[in-house]
Amino acid sequence: MTSVAEGAGDVQVKPKADKKAVDLTSGELPNIDASQITVTASQIDVDVSFRRSRTEGNGPTDAAGRAAFLDAVRRSLHLGDRVVVVSPSLSGQFSIPLLLQQPSWLAGYVPVAPVGTEQITPTNAAEIKVPTVIVYGSKDHGLGESSERVLSQIGGSSVVVVPGGGHPAYLHNPTLWHRVLYNFARRLQPAA
């Protein structure tokens, strides 16, 4: 696992323990047309029927149902066979069960101080083979730090601590956030 910690004004990459540091925080970002990444409400509407037909109340109530819901979202949005799941905070109740199932389409995982990490044990963490970059804010001393302690047990995971960031760390440094996502996705691309 590698970590990124705050330094003298810049983010520095520091290896944890004897691991090699992977810098996900530097480099140029491409110009991306926002229309390429916008998901419309009409696309999401397809998934509401899945939720209502298979669950009661406000959504799936068990881990298997929550993982199945994310798979239904992936299929209804035609996201393909290699998907990176970005999971801030409360969405961890959906993404952690999915991570533990490790479906073949899950190409990467980016948790941002998620809930639900109590489902991860040292034993099942050792079995997780999904590339993971853990993100949290340096000011998130609650859920951010506790989820990092658990998720960093995943072999090969990287940790990015957003300097000055709180619980929604991506809001406190959007440029760093986008750079981390972009660099992580580039690392996941299959060799041509």
Q: Are 115 and 90 in contact (CB under 8 A)?
A: yes
**Which residue type does 138 have?**
S
Nearest to 184 by CA among 125, 127, 133, 145: 133
Residue ranges of alpha helices (H) inside 77-107 are: 92-101
Bridge-partner residues for 17, per DSSP? none
Angstrom distances, CA of residue 46 to CA of 42, 72, 90, 184: 7, 9, 22, 29
Bridge-partner residues for 12, per DSSP? 5
Nearest to 3 by CA among 173, 182, 144: 144
The residues annotated as belonging to the active site are 89, 140, 167
Edge-to-edge order in the sheet of strand 11-15: 11-15, 2-6, 158-162, 133-137, 106-112, 83-88
143 is written with which tokens?
A: 């859920």
Tokens 């009661």 sit on residue: 56
